[in-house]
Structure 1
Amino acid sequence: MKFVEWLKWGGTGFVLSGILLTNLNLYPLNIMVHGTGSLGWMLAGIITKDRALTVNFGMQMPLFALGYAKMGGLI
């Protein structure tokens, strides 16, 4: 399996796990797990030059950064 396929499947697992953790209200673990999956999908989009993936998951990165900042007590 190619590296990008690993990124996609790994990203899918992390995103779905992050959604589950959100529904179980397990903060801040949900943000870390979901953010990891979104990063994987964004990288897959960059590697494959798929603009839709890059934009979709790239736009999520600042939102996760806010969550990380809140988690770290910066905001």
Structure 2
Amino acid sequence: MATEKEQVQEFLSIVGKSLHQYVESIDFDALSAAKKLILDAEAKGGRLHVTGIGKPGHVSGYAASLFSSTG
């Protein structure tokens, strides 16, 4: 049976691999284009509307709150 330390190390290894796979899957060109659209809209006095239904709705609400509080 694995010790508690070994279990934590295995868990962190799995999380690390998952995070690495996630980062590798990000389309940074699309992310950069989205950033440019948001900044261009802001510069023109526009607004950013974030929407969703269900879990995406909760995420969009969190994102909207985050954008609102950070400017």
Question: Which of the five TM-score ranges fits, normalised by the shorter chain?
Answer: 0.3 to 0.5
Q: Which has the higher contact order (CA 8 A, sep 6+)?
A: 1
